[in-house]
Structure 1
Amino acid sequence: MTMSPSVPAPDELPPARFALDRWTWREIAHLLVNLPMAIVGFVHAILVIAVGVGLAVTVIGLPVLVVGLRGARRLGRLERGRARSLLGVRIEEPSPLTLGRREEGFFPRLWSGLKDPVGWRSLLYAFVRLPWGVLTFTVTLVSLFVLWPVLPFIARRLTAVDRAMVRGLLSRSDELERRIAELESDRGVVVDTAAADLRRIERDLHDGAQARLVALAMGLGLAKEKLTGDPEAAARMVEEAHGEVKVALQELRDLARGIHPAVLTDRGLDAALSAIASRCTVPVTVSVDLPGRPAEAIEGIAYFTVSELLQNVSKHSGARSASVEVWRTADRLMLQVRDDGSGGARIDGGTGMAGLAERLGAVDGLFVLDSPVGGPTTVTAELPWRDRAPAAGRVS
């Protein structure tokens, strides 16, 4: 949120009175600058409409229109800054224009630029300002020499219209712009999380199963060489290799479980959460009350959220028992993990809570931590409920 810290809110401005105080001079300056700014904006709007729309049937028309809309955005930013500094208007900057990635192609990026609501509202603002700029410049200039005793009241009335126009056409469209900003942030979280997961999988494969399989191949090669000359040594090496194969298979199973466990796919959250609860170092009771199965993505996020929370219980809580509850309320999937440990957990405490909160936020979820010192700790999470897509029919 961008504000001018030295400027009060509009309802905090001192009332207009028969004196040319500093606020009156700021308002006068704004009204006098209205005309040149209105001329610049109007000329820009006319050129954009005439050239962009007029050449829309050609190859260059629509790109020109996109460039014009971006120029209108910049003029709108300049006008918001002028309103903040001279009129005391507290106004948030709209979300930045996102044209998408280059690999998405020219036409999707072009369409994103043409749909820019901030650019179109800024263009409309520039188009309608010329008559108002002429009027305010003329009235203010005349009042300076003829009606100066009542000029503070005239300036306050005229700038009230300016404030309304800036808020109406140049401000952030609260709900839509807020959602756009949140989605932009959430997309970054999702991308970062996916990249971190890929790095983890690559590291686990390289340091675990891959290294073990390389050693296994070398051992079998040596056993093959000793097969005729020293059959007993070859047999011992084959037996060791057999043990290595079992360990490698277990590591691969653990890795697959970390990506997406088979029990979750086959039997759902109840069985999958019971499985991870059985591996926790403290006794865990699990209660799952769901009318059906949510979408696979939501089910997976719920599973890994509970999994990480139970790992925290094992490692950090000092608890004697814990519980997991899962239920559905309206269009939300609710999770609650409790433990009777020492408490004192924090979102920024380095136990992965911040990452969980970000992941849930990326899918319109919520993450609430209640962990007073001395315990108990209760983590409540919400996820949007989306129905599971029907399984595709098999072709015989």
Structure 2
Amino acid sequence: MATGYGPGLEHGYGLGQGRPAGTGHRLPAALRAPFERRSWREFGYVLLSLPVSIVLFTWAVTMVALGAGLLVTFLGVPVLAAALAGCRGFGVLERARARGLLRLDVPDPEPLRTRGPGAMAWMGAVLKSGASWRHLAYAVVQFPWAVFSFSVALSFWTVGWTLLSYPLWFWVFPAYAGTGGVQLYGDQHHSVYLDNPFEITVTALVGLLFTLVTPWLVRALTTVDGLLVRGLLGPSPLSARVVELESDRGVVVDTAAADLRRIERDLHDGAQARLVGLAMDLGLAKEKLREDPRAAARMVEEAHGEVKTALQELRDLARGIHPAVLTDRGLDAALSAVASRCTVPVRVEVDLPARPAPAIEGIAYYTVSELLQNISKHSGARSASVDVWRSDDRLMLRVADDGVGGADAARGSGLAGLAGRLDAVDGLLLVESPAGGPTQVVAELPWRPAA
């Protein structure tokens, strides 16, 4: 297992990159927000939403109404298909806009599944696609929301910066308008102007309050936009689950193929080669049996030793595939056997109310075996521990050591392959390994009781 333990690594297993020392912000987030690029990107997204939503809403309502009116004839079908196809095209634009301005990466929805060539097959696929109708729903729902968010964001942003900068431009009124400042109130009897230093200062402070609040208000508005884009323009949960299962199936097939290649290689390079040599030695011993019985006896004795070695290699290979102790006695005994072969002392504690399903039990055994092998080879630890327990509907594994740490699954190490194995059964691998240690790896597996 080629996991990169060592002091030269700055981060753990990809749980987070962290911020380098000395680059922390001196101002709190509330004061930085009006000047951050993120705030201006989100404000730009809200401003662009209005014209885009007007065009999209107009297209959707016009084409759908026209298509519904023409359904009494065949012309309504292609018009409705064109309406939905246009909405899907706008969906590409909206996902790109969300990706560029909101940094929201929404996957494309499931593609159209046509049942043959031709325009009729394409129209049928468009009309039957749930993603097409979700795009139409987005066109209808997003328009009123875009009007609301545009009005609120632009009003707050304009008022905030206008009042905040009032001390810089209030002189325009006495110089060109003949008044002392902005008129706050006025009727036939008296008028109130913001013209003295106290009132100007209060006006700027109110503008400062609006300016500080506006980015967070815009962020809340764009959060709703993100939910709309993700929920209506992305893949449906069912299709996403299908894609995930197809990917997991591919991982399982690749893993099984890799295991078969490993077993074939171990048999070819180990026990098979030794047995071939043993057969040749026994053949020579048979030829010398009459001419030199003592030499033949020595050769048979050597062959007997080779048989023992080959049997041990076959036992080790079988134990690596699925140890008999795991089948007969469960995880507690199997993990204790694995821990006894580790190069550092390992404490094993298994607290399970019952045995899990054999498949889950095998993956748990394989996971702990790989992690303990990693500790033996790379960690430099003095001690380690293995804890196994059940939490609701999850089987939890925790392997910890006091070694040098600094491992990173994102570097293409064996931990990445281990995470793929767990993900194939809806499992999860969480690793915390700061430089200098200690290292803690937590694996979650679905709990499935044994039949």
Q: Same fold (TM over 0.5)?
A: yes
282-291 vs 78-87, which moves further: 78-87
Which of residues 123, 126, 130 is equivalent to 1:121? 130
Cα separation, partners in 2 of 1:301 and 1:226, compared to 1, 3 Å: same
Aligned residues of 2:399 and 2:442 also touching (Cα < 8 A): yes
For residues 183-202 of structure 1, the aligned pairs below 5 Å read 183-202=245-264
User: Structure 1 residue 292 and structure 2 residue 354: aligned?
Assistant: yes
Cα separation, partners in 2 of 1:218 and 1:11, compared to 1, 3 Å: same
2:368 and 2:87 mapped to 1: Cα distance?
Answer: 47
1:112-166 Cα shifts (integer Å, max 9, x gaps): xxxx99953256579999xx9xxx9xxxxxxxxxxxxxxx98xx99xxxxx9xx9
3-state SS of 2:421 partner: helix
1:195 and 1:98 mapped to 2: Cα distance?
Answer: 32
Cα separation, partners in 2 of 1:381 and 1:37, compared to 1, 3 Å: same
2:56 and 2:260 mapped to 1: Cα distance?
Answer: 55
Q: What residue ranges of structure 2 are gaps of 5+ in the alignment? A: 1-39, 116-124, 152-224
Aligned residues of 2:110 and 2:131 also touching (Cα < 8 A): no
Cα separation, partners in 2 of 1:186 and 1:30, compared to 1, 3 Å: same
Aligned residues of 2:275 and 2:310 also touching (Cα < 8 A): yes
User: Structure 1 residue 373 and structure 2 residue 382: aligned?
Assistant: no
Q: CA deviation at 1:388?
A: 0.2
Percent identity between matched residues is 58
307-316 vs 368-377, which moves further: 368-377
1:215 and 1:92 mapped to 2: Cα distance?
Answer: 60
Aligned residues of 1:290 and 1:327 also touching (Cα < 8 A): yes
Q: CA deviation at 1:210?
A: 1.0
3-state SS of 1:202 partner: helix
Q: CA deviation at 1:13?
A: 2.5
Cα separation, partners in 2 of 1:287 and 1:31, compared to 1, 3 Å: closer
Cα separation, partners in 2 of 1:355 and 1:41, compared to 1, 3 Å: farther
3-state SS of 2:356 partner: coil
Aligned residues of 1:293 and 1:388 also touching (Cα < 8 A): yes
What is residue 231 of structure 1 aligned with on the other side?
293
What is residue 214 of structure 2 aligned with on the other side?
none
Q: CA deviation at 1:82?
A: 5.2
Which of residues 106, 112, 117 is equivalent to 1:92? 106
The two structures have a TM-score, normalised by structure 2, of 0.58
Q: CA deviation at 1:312?
A: 1.0
Q: Give the AA of the match of 1:240.
A: E
Cα separation, partners in 2 of 1:206 and 1:96, compared to 1, 3 Å: farther
What is residue 344 of structure 2 aligned with on the other side?
282
Q: Give the AA of the match of 2:106.
A: E
Aligned residues of 2:393 and 2:446 also touching (Cα < 8 A): yes
2:83 and 2:288 mapped to 1: Cα distance?
Answer: 80
Q: CA deviation at 1:373?
A: 1.8
Which of residues 71, 78, 90 is equivalent to 2:89? 78
3-state SS of 1:220 partner: helix
What is residue 383 of structure 1 aligned with on the other side?
445
Cα separation, partners in 2 of 1:341 and 1:75, compared to 1, 3 Å: same
What is residue 328 of structure 1 aligned with on the other side?
390
Q: CA deviation at 1:192?
A: 1.8
1:213 and 1:196 mapped to 2: Cα distance?
Answer: 24
Q: CA deviation at 1:34?
A: 5.2
2:258 and 2:382 mapped to 1: Cα distance?
Answer: 32
What is residue 339 of structure 1 aligned with on the other side?
401
Larger radius of gyration: 2
Q: Give the AA of the match of 2:129.
A: W
2:431 and 2:128 mapped to 1: Cα distance?
Answer: 41
Q: Give the AA of the match of 2:416.
A: A
For residues 85-234 of structure 1, the aligned pairs below 5 Å read 92-96=106-110, 119-122=128-131, 171-172=233-234, 175-234=237-296
Aligned residues of 1:122 and 1:169 also touching (Cα < 8 A): no
What is residue 301 of structure 1 aligned with on the other side?
363
1:98 and 1:312 mapped to 2: Cα distance?
Answer: 46
Q: Give the AA of the match of 1:223.
A: A
Aligned residues of 2:135 and 2:233 also touching (Cα < 8 A): no
The two structures have a TM-score, normalised by structure 1, of 0.65
Q: CA deviation at 1:216?
A: 1.1
3-state SS of 2:249 partner: helix
1:347-396 Cα shifts (integer Å, max 9, x gaps): 2356511111121122111211111222211111111110001xxxxxxx
Q: Give the AA of the match of 2:339.
A: A
2:265 and 2:67 mapped to 1: Cα distance?
Answer: 56
Aligned residues of 2:342 and 2:372 also touching (Cα < 8 A): yes
For residues 13-28 of structure 1, the aligned pairs below 5 Å read 13-14=46-47
Aligned residues of 1:121 and 1:170 also touching (Cα < 8 A): no
316-325 vs 173-182, which moves further: 173-182
2:236 and 2:242 mapped to 1: Cα distance?
Answer: 10
Aligned residues of 2:389 and 2:396 also touching (Cα < 8 A): yes
User: Structure 1 residue 255 and structure 2 residue 317: aligned?
Assistant: yes
1:167-218 Cα shifts (integer Å, max 9, x gaps): 6995235543443333233222222211211111111111111111111111
Q: Which has the higher contact order (CA 8 A, sep 6+)?
A: 2
2:291 and 2:251 mapped to 1: Cα distance?
Answer: 59
Q: CA deviation at 1:219?
A: 1.4
Aligned residues of 1:41 and 1:126 also touching (Cα < 8 A): no
- Tell me the number of residue pairs that the alignment of Structure 1 and Structure 2 aligns: 316
